[in-house]
Amino acid sequence: MSRPVRVRFAPSPTGIPHIGNMRTALFNWLFARHSDGKFILRIEDTDQTRKVEGAIEKIYESLGWLGLEWDEGPDVGGDSGPYMQSERLDYYQSAAKRLVEQGDAYHCYCSSERLAEMRAEQSKRKEPPRYDRTCRELTAGQRAQKEAEGLASVVRYKIPFEGITSFDDEVYGYVEFQNALLDDYVILKSDGFPTYHLANVVDDHMMQISHVIRADEWLSSTPKHVLLYKALEYNSPKYAHMPMTFGKDKAKLSKRHGATALLDYKDMGYLPEAMINFLVLLGWSLDDKTEIFSRDDLIQHFSLDRISKTGAVFNAEKLNWFNGYYIRQLTTDELIERVMPLLDAQLPADVKRPIDTEYLKEIIPLIHERLKLLTEITEFVSFFFVDDIEHKADELIGKKMTQDSSIAVLEASLPKLESLAKFDTESLEQVLRPLAEELGLKTGQLFGTLRVATTGKTVAPPLFQTMEVLGQDKCLKRIGLALEKLKGMD
């Protein structure tokens, strides 16, 4: 019988989670949910020198924003804890000791200075950098002498000189490496902390991880892990290596391509639904046409055999398209709930708090279709809430219009708008459309001048609906101020 599915996301708190990290988390989470398995969060904090303050909290926040809840982890517990590697040192040291005792690993006493000189010489000879195995065959007496001298040591795994190490990958199929090309790598550092290679193997075994799903940059490290599993007599998990993500220029993804910390996208106004849909398509597809997936769709359809071997391209424009799509799927009430914190933080202090939700319900339908980022909301709606707007005289003068013709538009509009008993879209259209013909203007010219006069913007929601929501008093006041601005240009 196959093992129950248990997968893990094991970030290091050496930085803030970025797009690549979170794609790995998403693929693991989807596979766990599709398979009725467990998604485990493990913090790999053995590199104490590079640990970043607050990084663990950002890991929790990033996963939480995407809704990737974990079944076991440092904060929720579980039967396989502890889930912080720095709390598991005894396990790694015990495994390293066992490997040394059975002849599969050895103590290396080479100083960092000697190793640097060795690599420099190898570089001169245009050889790949690797340990020269000076300490591999030290006798017991030689080791005892070095210990007596107080020399610090690391533990290195003893790679076989010949043969191949192979494994089956769920994405790449059969993979093999020549042992002669592998290095005797460090598994335990002199401070007693393990390297990634030893720690992840010991932890994955003890946490009964069934599948290791990670980026294919780890593919070349996998033979080292396979050898460790064999030496420690552990059952090896199945491997699935995801393709790298590149920018449009086919270079490795970096900040210049738009990739940054995941939470930066939250701050920029992206929806988690859009981000999940975007991330899953960076290396996975259901077919050659389906692009929109709900969370339930993804859980139903996600499988490892649909992961591509081809590198994925990070396309910021596509992410924006997804975000606009998912914003449009929100109801008015849902969108208000998402943008309310932004409006509360960004609208001027003199705007009454709490912000009028019923008023927002009139406004949101006017701008809903145009919104691509949640953070655009304040720019789109601020003129509805403030008492005074700024008129730019040059914007009040529309295309192929003059100061005089713009003044004429406003002067002619005021009495017609003042006379309206009902200030709604239909009534506004009935009086303003004929006015353009009376003034010998195109409707776009007249509407453009009124748009700037009433909103302070050259681009705004549909004019009549906007004026209706603004109300008669506010529109008349603003048109009057715009008229003063135009007349004061002389």
**Active-site annotation holds for 255:** yes
Give the sheet arrangement for strand 211-215, strand by strand: 173-178, 164-169, 238-242, 211-215
Q: Is 127 exposed, middle or buried (0-12, 13-18, 19+ CB in 10 A)?
A: exposed
Task: Classify 239 as helix, strand or coil.
Answer: strand
Average pLDDT score over the chain: 95
Predicted confidence band at 256 (pLDDT cuts at 50, 70, 90)? low
pLDDT value for 30: 98
353, 393 in Cβ contact below 8 A?
Answer: no
pLDDT value for 258: 62
Q: Is the pLDDT of residue 250 over 80?
A: no
Q: Is the pLDDT of residue 295 over 70?
A: yes
Q: Provide mean pLDDT across the span 361-390.
A: 96
469 vs 490, residue with greater confidence: 469
Peptide bond into 82 cis (omega under 30): yes
Q: Is the pLDDT of residue 121 over 70?
A: yes
Q: 255, 309, 400, 487: which is the annotated catalytic residue?
A: 255
Q: What is the pLDDT of residues 142-157, one digit of tens each?
A: 999 999 999 999 999 9
pTM of the predicted structure, to 2 decimals? 0.92
Name residue 166's beta-bridge partners: 176
323-337: string of b/e by CB count within 10 Å (b at 16+)?
Answer: bbbbbeebeeeebbe
Q: Provide mean pLDDT across the span 57-62.
A: 97
pLDDT value for 2: 77
Q: Is the pLDDT of residue 248 over 80?
A: no
268, 375 in Cβ contact below 8 A?
Answer: yes
Q: Please name the fold of domain 393-487.
A: Arc Repressor Mutant, subunit A (1.10.10)
For the domain 89-242, what is the CATH superfamily, name and number?
HUPs (3.40.50.620)
Tell me the domain boundaries of the chain.
89-242, 332-385, 393-487
Predicted confidence band at 393 (pLDDT cuts at 50, 70, 90)? confident
Predicted confidence band at 466 (pLDDT cuts at 50, 70, 90)? very high
Query: In this structure, which amino acid lies at residue 38?
Result: K
pLDDT value for 140: 94
Determine the distance from the C-alpha atom of residue 224 to the mean position of all C-alpha atoms in its chain, rounded to a whole number.
Answer: 30
Q: Is the pLDDT of residue 22 over 80?
A: yes
Q: Is the pLDDT of residue 168 over 60?
A: yes
Q: Give percent of the chain above pLDDT 90.
A: 89
Q: Provide mean pLDDT across the span 61-87.
A: 97
CATH topology match: 89-242 vs 393-487: no
pLDDT value for 245: 86
